[in-house]
């Protein structure tokens, strides 16, 4: 079974930084051109904007909460191991907290980045037609 490679947090932030302005520019231009009378296509796109943000927020929040739970378990295990096996060198708490924060942030950014990149591709294709 092939394993999926996780993107680094920096790569995710870079992709999000490129995709989000493209999506915003496309949608703002579409709003300006639509004016007061919206077509069915415009109504669908504008509704999708809001619904998509809510679902991406929910996914990100859930992923971050689940990752925070995992990281708390790892930290508790590390502390218990340092008491049970004091002769084994342990990772510093500062390093563990840093890794945990980056892991939680990465899990939260993934659904938002995934949607923004997909929207940039989809809206970019629509513009070329």
**Cα–chain center distance at 10:** 12
Let me know if residue 92 belongs to a domain.
yes
Let me know if residue 2 belongs to a domain.
no
Residue 32, pLDDT > 70, answer yes
Let me know if residue 31 belongs to a domain.
no
Let me know if residue 12 belongs to a domain.
no
37 vs 90, higher pLDDT: 37
Number of domains the chain is built from: 1
Let me know if residue 26 belongs to a domain.
no
Domain of 73, in residue numbers: 39-128
**What is the rounded distance in angstroms from the CA atom of residue 64 to the CA atom of residue 110?**
10
**What is the rounded distance in angstroms from the CA atom of residue 51 to the CA atom of residue 64?**
20
Let me know if residue 11 belongs to a domain.
no
Let me know if residue 53 belongs to a domain.
yes
Q: Say how many residues make up the chain.
A: 129
What is the pLDDT, as a whole number, of residue 9? 87
């Amino acid at each position: 079974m092939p394993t999926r490679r996780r993107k680094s947090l920096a790569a995710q932030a870079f992709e999000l930084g490129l995709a989000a302005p493209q999506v915003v520019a496309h949608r703002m231009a579409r709003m300006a051109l639509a004016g007061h009378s919206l077509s069915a296509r415009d109504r669908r796109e504008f509704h999708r904007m809001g619904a998509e943000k809510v679902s991406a927020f929910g996914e990100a929040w859930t992923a971050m909460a689940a990752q925070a739970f995992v990281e708390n378990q790892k930290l508790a295990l590390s502390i218990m191991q340092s008491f049970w096996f004091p002769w084994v060198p342990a990772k510093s708490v500062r390093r563990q907290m840093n890794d945990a924060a980056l892991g939680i942030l990465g899990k939260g950014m993934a659904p938002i980045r995934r949607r923004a990149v997909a929207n940039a591709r989809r809206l970019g294709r629509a513009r070329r037609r």
